[in-house]
Chain A
Amino acid sequence: MKMLRILVASLVLWLITAPYPAGASGGGEARVDPTYARECGECHAPYPVRWLSADSWRHVLANLNRHFGQDASLDAEAQQKIDDYLVSHGRRRSTVAPDGGPLLRITESPGFLGAHDEVSPATWKRSDVQSPARCEACHGNAAQGRFSEHDLHLPEGVSP
């Protein structure tokens, strides 16, 4: 009986202190690096780091002066901090583009595609969504790097 009480107490303690489980979307429910969220969230949502591999992230960070058509270059200190964070938290398996190089568009990654396979092409084209890259259209806390499917704020007419 005493052993049972110890086991129950241990279980309760574990449940209280266990980290918040990652959402099925695979994105960002672990604590997001604040420098990454601040700097890489200035023009778009700070995308879930685990959806691109370290190689992909290295390539993105090395070419910020030509970041999808814009200069997104960072100061040296922020660059180093973000590089360290992305490379250490990136997807373990490689994310590869059709041409064999590192995949750079997170919306083409296996993680993103798997999490959004039920979203119709028409939904992406809605004027209040516009693009798969606009996470904040449905993910109300995307600016904080939170993308849980349990925390959606869907535009009217979009079903989960």
Chain B
Amino acid sequence: MPSRLLIIITLAVPTVALGDSPEGLQQGWAREAEQRDSGFAGFSASRGVAFFNARHGGDWRCSSCHTDQPLTSGRHVVTGKVIKPLAPAANPERFTDAGKVEKWFRRNCRDVLSRDCTPEEKGDVLAYLLDLGSGVRQ
């Protein structure tokens, strides 16, 4: 294989994989948040927990399906299907697939908030979820 092509592929691999971790996702959302608001000062788990449990003008909250104890399993509010825990400490697969994360934020934010979530809101929610099971007080 031509060496130039090999170098390009080698450099591309970590870039592609960067978003496929909780930290990678937060870095991406932080960049987007800074572009939207130069005063962005970082994510907040306390904003995240409030956001997660709030009603946002509709019938549902994030916790309606994911529970207010995201270390535990939840249930789909309509179909009753079991939803595995959302917090990475209880379910290490969570937030390791950027495409899946963005798909579910798109769907669920439009259901709960009737709009897309902002990068700051996503980052706050993940900051809250990452704190769960880590011994950090909310």
The minimal Cβ–Cβ distance linking A58 to chain B, given in whole angstroms, is 21
Given contacts A75-B99, A75-B103, contact A70 B111 (CB under 8 A): yes
Q: Which of B80-110 contact A (CB under 8 A)?
A: 80-81, 99, 103, 106-108, 110
Would you call the interface of chain B mostly helix, strand, loop, or mixed?
Answer: helix
**With A71-B106, A75-B99, A75-B103: A133-B111 Cβ-Cβ less than 8 Å:** no
A130 touches B110 (CB 8 A): no
* Contact of B7 with A by CB under 8 A: no
B31 at the interface (CB under 8 A from A): no
CB closest chain-A residue, reference B103: A75
Is A35 interfacial (CB-CB < 8 Å)?
A: no
Distance of B7 from chain A, by nearest CB (Å): 29
Q: Does B76 contact A (CB under 8 A)?
A: yes
Residues of B within 8 Å of A134, CB to CB, are 79-80
Shortest C-beta distance, B131 to chain A (Å), equals 26
> Cβ of B78 and Cβ of A71 under 8 Å apart?
no
Residues of A within 8 A of B103 (CB): 73-75
Q: Is the interface of A mostly helix, strand, loop or mixed?
A: loop
Q: Given that A73-B106, A75-B99 are known contacts, is A68 also in contact with B111, CB under 8 Å in the complex? A: no
Chain B min CB distance to A155 (Å): 13
Nearest A-chain residue to B65, judged by Cβ: A43
Closest-by-CB residue of B relative to A134 is B80
Within residues 65 to 93 of chain A, which ones have a CB less than 8 A from any CB in chain B?
65, 68-75
- Inter-chain contact A43/B81, CB cutoff 8 Å: yes
On whether the beta carbons of B78 and A69 are closer than 8 Å, the reply is yes
Bound together, the chains give a CA A36 to CA B68 distance in angstroms of 31
CB distance from B113 to the nearest CB of A (A): 11
Contacts A71-B106, A73-B106 given: A130-B80 contact, CB under 8 Å? yes
Inter-chain contacts of A75 with B (CB < 8 A): 99, 103
State in angstroms the CA–CA spacing of A136 and B75 once bound together.
14
State the B residues within 8 Å of A (CB).
Answer: 76, 78-81, 99, 103, 106-108, 110-111
Task: List 22 interface pairs A-B (beta carbons < 8 Å), by A numbering.
Answer: A43-B78, A43-B79, A43-B81, A44-B79, A65-B110, A68-B78, A71-B106, A71-B107, A71-B108, A71-B110, A71-B111, A72-B107, A73-B106, A73-B107, A74-B103, A75-B99, A75-B103, A130-B80, A131-B79, A131-B80, A133-B79, A134-B80
Question: Apart from A44-B76, A68-B78, A70-B107, what are 18 other A-B pairs with CB-CB below 8 Å?
Answer: A43-B76, A43-B78, A43-B79, A44-B79, A44-B81, A65-B110, A70-B111, A71-B106, A71-B107, A71-B111, A72-B107, A73-B103, A73-B106, A74-B103, A130-B80, A131-B79, A131-B80, A133-B79
